[in-house]
């Protein structure tokens, strides 16, 4: 691994970096990622080798340091860094579309820099979405950490506490679902998903149409609408993804005096198109801060 390369990554302000870092910190998988003192660091599985990226947001740009096996991966690592922090989104159209809404307009105007946390690896995100089904955020991070310890790859040159690559879909496709440390149905769903990703039967890469990916995800055993929309939001960068059955959304709408049922939430969210994913993030933030 070469010495660190420093990159200054621009974005269109405002950026609510604190919310992004808090999101990643709550979900950090031991060995793969950590958040400390305003800095997010994690491992990357890149085309030419492994890497570690360290992201330090400021008010006007993100200072990035990258340790790469091959510096030919620098453009791709930078692109993935932008995706993680949703830096390619111009917040102005979101504010214009949602800022005047009677219900969530005050939330939007109060935090116009709120972004949708992304991912550097759609396969990893989909696998982690299945891991997190029906358990707490902390529980999902712990379970993911066990999978990393059992099936991940130790980096030849770790950086601080970032020592592992998240298990590849190919590695998890070869596992015994009964040995994954989760309920049987979820273990089988994870192994089946990994096999579909490894074979190319299921595509979540750049250029795939979100609706096509949704169809393929829903066809996988053990994957329902919540997981599908979560993957569409964070892995496919669909700005209109929405999770009406999410517990946080139900709580937020109830706190705002609305019917929090999934059917009512879905009807209400129709007026937030094409930025329902951003409405989702603002509602979740309101619930956390309440």
Chain centroid to CA 249:
17
Contact 21, 36 (CB under 8 A): no
Q: List the alpha helices (DSSP H) in the chain.
A: 17-27, 74-84, 91-98, 105-110, 122-131, 137-151, 169-173, 184-199, 210-218, 225-234, 247-255, 262-269, 276-289
Place of tokens 């890149």: 46
Residue 272 is classified by DSSP as G
Q: Which two structure tokens, joined as six digits, stand for 184?
A: 């049987």
Beta sheet of 5-10, edge-to-edge order: 5-10, 61-68, 49-57, 39-46, 33-36
Q: Is 37 helix (H, G, I), strand (E, B) or coil?
A: coil
Show the beta-strand stretches assigned E in 140-267: 153-159, 162-165
* Beta bridge partner(s), residue 55: 40, 64
Place of tokens 């995100």: 125
Q: Name the residue among 80, 67, 86 with its Cα closest to residue 20.
A: 86
Q: Which two structure tokens, joined as six digits, stand for 19?
A: 């919310």
Enzyme catalytic residues: 246
Chain centroid to CA 142:
17
Q: Which two structure tokens, joined as six digits, stand for 268?
A: 């209400």
User: What is the rounded CA–CA span in Å between residue 80 and residue 77?
Assistant: 5
Q: Which two structure tokens, joined as six digits, stand for 230?
A: 């979560």
């Amino acid at each position: 691994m070469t010495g660190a390369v420093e990159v200054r990554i621009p974005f269109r302000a405002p950026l609510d970096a604190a919310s992004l870092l808090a999101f990643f910190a709550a979900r950090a998988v031991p060995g793969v990622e950590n958040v400390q003192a305003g800095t997010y660091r994690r491992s990357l599985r890149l085309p030419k080798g492994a890497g570690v990226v360290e992201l330090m947001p400021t008010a006007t740009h993100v200072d990035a340091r990258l340790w790469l096996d091959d510096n030919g991966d620098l453009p791709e690592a930078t692109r993935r860094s932008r995706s993680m922090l949703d830096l390619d989104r111009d917040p102005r159209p979101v504010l214009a579309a949602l800022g005047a809404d009677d219900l969530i307009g005050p939330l939007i105007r109060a935090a116009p820099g709120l972004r949708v946390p992304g991912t550097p690896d759609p396969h990893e995100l989909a696998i982690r979405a299945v891991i997190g089904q029906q358990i707490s955020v902390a529980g999902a991070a712990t379970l993911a950490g066990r999978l990393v310890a059992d099936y991940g790859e130790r980096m030849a040159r770790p950086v601080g506490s970032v020592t592992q690559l998240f298990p590849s879909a190919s590695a998890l496709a070869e596992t015994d679902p009964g040995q994954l440390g989760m309920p049987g149905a979820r273990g089988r769903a994870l192994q089946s998903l990994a096999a579909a990703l490894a074979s190319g039967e299921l595509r979540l890469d750049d250029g795939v149409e979100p609706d096509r990916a949704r169809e393929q995800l829903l066809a996988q055993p053990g994957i329902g609408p919540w997981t599908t929309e979560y993957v569409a939001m964070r892995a496919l960068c669909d700005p209109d993804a929405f999770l009406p059955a999410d517990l946080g959304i139900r709580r937020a709408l109830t706190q705002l005096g609305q019917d929090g049922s999934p059917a009512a939430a879905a009807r209400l969210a129709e007026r937030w198109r094409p930025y329902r994913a951003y409405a989702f993030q603002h509602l979740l933030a309101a619930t956390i801060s309440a």
